[in-house]
Structures are given as C-alpha cells and as structure tokens.
C-alpha cells in the first residue's frame, strides 16, 4: 500500500468564514482527507495540522515537520484539501511540488482543485493556481496595509502590545490607558535624568532594585510578548532608557510606523526614516508633563556627542554580545578602540561579557568577506552556490515561462470560442448548451487575460530590480575588494555581528557574522 501524509491548515481569516463554510475547519478537513485516502486504498502514515497559520508563513511547525519527513521518505503521497492549504506562494510550489517532491519520489495530491503531480497534463493548471494564490497574497497584503495606514493616520493604536507604561483600553479599541504600576517607573526615569543621573546609572538603579524591564513586565502581566531579535533578558539597559526618554507617546502623541517589513513575504522589520512615521498628537492621556519632557529633551541635546571624530562607530548597532544579546558599546583607551558588552555595567553578575578590539573585529570581517567574494564572484561557484529559488534571474525566467503559458491558454480559449460558435451554427450543439459553454469560456478567458496583465507588471518590476542590482552579487561587488571597512559597507552588508567571550588561555574570540545577502 502507498503511504500518505495528510496536511491540514486553518488560518485566522478562515475562522471568520466558518459560519458559511464549515468545511474550512481543521476537523472537517481531516475527515474529508482521511475518507479520500481510505477510498483510494492508501495507508495513512501521519496527519500534520497547522492551526491559526497563514499560507504565506514558511515557518509553520507542522509544515516544517512534513517537509523533514518527506525528505526522509516516510511516505509516498502528500494529500491536501487544496493546493493553497499547502502553500500560497508560487516559489514554494515550484521548489517542493515541482522540484524536490519528484526527486524524493513523493506525489502531491489536492482534492478540490484536482492537483496531482502524477498527472503531467495538469502541471500548467497547478502553476496557474500557484500564480493566482500569489496574487491573492499580494492583494490581501495591500488591503491590510491600506486599512492599517488609515487607522495609524487617525491616531488609533494598532500594535499587538501597548508601550511600557500603558495598556490597551478594554472598552475602546485602538486607544491606550495608563498602567499606573509601569507609569511610576517611567516618571522615575524621566525625573532621574532631569536631575542629572545618566542613562547607564538609571539602568543600574532599576536592576539593583530588581525592577523588571518592559519585556519581563509584559510577561509578568500574562502577555505572550517576545522582544524582536530574540533577546528576552529581564535587565534594564542603556538603550531601553534612551528609547524611553525620546518617545513622544509618553506626552500623549501616538507614534507608529517606526519599523516596517520590506515585503509581504517577510516578517523581518527594518527601521524606517522619521519622515515615514505616523505621528498624531493628543490621542491619549500623557504620563509625562510637557515641561518635564522639554527639560529632558534639552538635556539630551546638550549631552549628545559624536563618536570619535564626529562619525558613527564602525560597528555601532551591529555588534552584539553573544551571551546576552545586547548591543556592545565602544570605548577608547590609549588611542585604541574597543567594543565591550553594554550589559556588564547594568547589573552585578548580569553577563560574562564580550570584549574585542575594533580593529581585530574588522580584520575578521574582512577575512570572511574575502572568502565570500572569491566564492560568489566566480560565475561557476555562483551558479552552484546560490539557491535558484532565491535568485532573481531564475525567478524572472520562471515567471516568463508562466506568462507564456497563460498567453497560450488565452489563445486556446479564443480558438475554442470560435469553434464553439461554428458548432452552434452547424447545429451540433443546442442553443442553451452553447450559452452555458460560451459564458464559461468567456469568464475563463477574462480571468486569464487579467492574470496576464498582472504577470506582465510583475515581470517588468522584477526586471527593473535585476537592472538596479538588487541581487546578492551586486551588493557585494559594490564594496569589494576592500582594504578597510567603511560604515556604508557595514550598513549595506551586515545585519549583525555576534561577539563571544574570549576562550580562557587563548587569544581567540568567537565571532558570528550574519550577512544581509
């Protein structure tokens, strides 16, 4: 007997439709698929079910487990209700359904839309389904973005969690009310700084008293909050105090849109320029008086000093401690610059600390960059080393093929309409049958013509991206071969540099570089 793996998925959007379509529920999906597997005489090897996950989420836990088991050949068939339950991304359709699954000897079947990789004749329809699902994701992303933008512009809070010092108003959606327990700490921080206490000293005082930082406080309140970047220590740090002292939300102004994702396909957020923030004044009760705020801002301007010769540090906001995850701070001794863990001075025994000479870190980064340059700027090595699904030129070629297939299908439907008319004239089909078939053919042709127009626009945009040099080789090529690193090169190529504690008895410092390409 052939072994089948059943995959089900339910998203938050589907939950809102259940009163109209009960078949969307996880249980009904399982029942339908199990019944179909038994009718086909397949042995059920396992059921994989992701509840409350979107089709564009690549990190679905059961989806990831399914792929691992598929690679280990634990089953022969993957069975879904529809192809979109498996994924809505055309890229993953090509990578797994048309790429890796055949290599692993696995057949993909979906019941409702009749996708079956054992039937070579419906590959184009599977690709068109994938393309339509991709457009659905993009349209849905744009619709959601427009709604959120409107709410931001009108001063409504749309985040999952309120800023430290506030909580969500349970009676008025999108409004904030003061959380007195946390607000007391906010007032203390502003008062201390206004009286001349530095940011690091304020953090030490709070840590010595055991006051939980904003991340830990949210968790103590029962909120499932995780700080972006994965660092969830309970300690206050310099950066947290600095961010608090400059946040206008504490004087009653709603500030949103400071970070945003580059695309609907990624959840990774990037800082946005201040000109793109949404700032609406007087949306909620302030914690800090305007007088205290102005005094603190004046002190911040007075104490702000440029790094070294007036330039920002080479690895500023890029180098973090491998132990605690906090950003490392720069210091200078006898003309030599060093990077050290900023958490070491925030509390006693808080972190074993990380320490490295800036010049040594630069040499390590340059050495790794040289290795990558030799690999990626070689044409043959690039062709073998870069995943085709992440390569813009491969995407362009694949999209051009899909567009050509759509155009051929439009021509076939136009030809079918002409032949259908001739059959009616010859009396081969009845008038009523002709009307039904004509309406169906015309609707299919209109849908595909719209798909062709949208695909042409996407292909044009992708071609422009390639011409502008947005692939990984172009990013590297603009900055290599370097003799010294510049701040611009670090910003363009590096997401983060993680520095560990030097191994006892050696001069080796563990360093992990996370590139942006």
Bond prior to 446 in cis (omega within 30° of 0): no
Interatomic CA distance for residues 342 and 56, integer angstroms: 37
**Residue 200, token pair as written in the block:** 């690091």
**Residue 92: per-residue pLDDT:** 83
Residue among 394, 311, 332 nearest 94 (CA) = 394
**Residue 392: per-residue pLDDT:** 67
**Residue 334: per-residue pLDDT:** 81
For 13, other C-beta atoms within 10 Å of its C-beta total 11
Interatomic CA distance for residues 440 and 447, integer angstroms: 11
- C-alpha dist (Å) from residue 264 to 280, 348, 517: 26, 43, 18
**Residue 99: per-residue pLDDT:** 85
pLDDT under 70: residue ranges of the chain: 12-24, 121-144, 225-233, 261-269, 303-312, 344-350, 375-392, 465-482, 488, 517
| Residues forming beta bridges with residue 261, ordered by sequence position | 269
Q: How many residues does the chain have?
A: 517
Interatomic CA distance for residues 115 and 122, integer angstroms: 7
How far from chain centre, in Å, is Cα 5?
A: 28
**Residue 190: per-residue pLDDT:** 93
Asked if 109 contacts 80 with a C-beta cutoff of 8 angstroms, the reply is yes
Three-state secondary-structure class, residue 507: coil
Name the strand (E) or helix (H) holding 321. Answer: strand 319-321
**Residue 414: per-residue pLDDT:** 82
Name the strand (E) or helix (H) holding 515. Answer: strand 511-515
Interatomic CA distance for residues 78 and 101, integer angstroms: 9
How far from chain centre, in Å, is Cα 181?
A: 33
Helix and strand tally (H, E) in the chain? Answer: 18, 17
Asked if 399 contacts 459 with a C-beta cutoff of 8 angstroms, the reply is yes
**Residue 48, token pair as written in the block:** 């994989």
Global pTM reads 0.45
**Residue 137: per-residue pLDDT:** 60
């Amino acid at each position: 007997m052939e072994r089948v793996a059943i995959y089900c998925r339910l998203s938050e959007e589907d939950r809102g439709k259940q009163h109209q379509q009960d078949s969307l529920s996880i249980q009904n999906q399982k029942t339908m698929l199990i019944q179909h597997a038994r009718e086909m005489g397949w042995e059920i090897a396992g059921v994989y079910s992701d509840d409350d996950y979107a089709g564009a989420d690549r990190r679905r836990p059961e989806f990831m487990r399914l792929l691992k088991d598929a690679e280990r050949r634990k089953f022969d068939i993957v069975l879904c209700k529809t192809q979109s339950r498996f994924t809505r991304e055309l890229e993953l359709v090509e990578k797994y359904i048309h790429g890796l699954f055949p290599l692993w000897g696995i057949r993909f079947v979906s019941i409702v839309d009749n996708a079956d990789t054992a039937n070579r004749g419906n590959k184009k329809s599977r690709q068109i389904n994938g393309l339509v699902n991709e457009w659905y994701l993009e349209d849905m992303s744009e619709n959601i973005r427009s709604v959120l933008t409107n709410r931001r512009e009108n001063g409504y809070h749309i985040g999952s969690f309120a800023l430290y010092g506030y909580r969500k108003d349970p009676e008025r959606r999108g409004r904030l009310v003061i959380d007195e327990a946390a607000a007391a700490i906010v007032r203390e921080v502003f008062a201390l700084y206004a009286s001349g206490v530095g940011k690091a000293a304020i953090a030490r005082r709070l840590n010595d008293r055991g006051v939980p930082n904003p991340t830990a406080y949210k968790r103590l309140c029962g909120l499932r909050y995780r700080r972006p970047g994965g660092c969830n220590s309970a300690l206050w740090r310099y950066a947290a105090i600095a961010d608090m002292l400059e946040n206008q939300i504490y004087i009653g102004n709603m500030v949103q849109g400071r970070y945003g994702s580059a695309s609907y396909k990624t959840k990774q957020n990037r800082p946005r320029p201040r000109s793109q923030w949404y700032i609406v004044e007087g949306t909620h009760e302030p914690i800090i008086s305007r007088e205290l705020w102005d005094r603190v801002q004046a002190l911040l301007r007075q104490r702000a000093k440029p790094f070294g010769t007036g330039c920002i540090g080479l690895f500023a906001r890029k180098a973090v401690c491998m132990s605690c995850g906090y950003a490392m701070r720069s210091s200078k001794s006898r003309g030599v610059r060093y990077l050290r863990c900023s958490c070491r001075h925030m509390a006693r025994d808080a972190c074993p600390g990380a320490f490295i000479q800036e010049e040594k870190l630069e040499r390590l980064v340059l050495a790794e960059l040289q290795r990558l340059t030799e690999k990626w700027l070689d044409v043959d090595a690039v062709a073998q080393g870069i995943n085709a699904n992440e390569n813009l030129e491969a995407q362009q070629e694949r999209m051009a093929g899909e567009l050509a297939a759509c155009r051929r299908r439009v021509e076939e439907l136009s030809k079918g309409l002409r032949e259908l008319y001739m059959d009616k004239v010859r009396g081969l089909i009845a008038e009523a049958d002709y009307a039904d078939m004509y309406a169906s053919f015309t609707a299919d042709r209109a849908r595909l013509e719209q798909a062709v127009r949208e695909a042409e626009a996407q292909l044009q945009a992708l071609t422009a991206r390639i011409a502008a040099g947005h692939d990984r080789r172009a990013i590297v090529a603009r900055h290599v071969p370097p003799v010294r690193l510049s701040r611009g090169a670090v910003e363009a190529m590096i997401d983060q540099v993680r520095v560990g504690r030097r191994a006892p008895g050696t001069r080796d410092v563990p360093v992990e570089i996370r590139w942006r390409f």
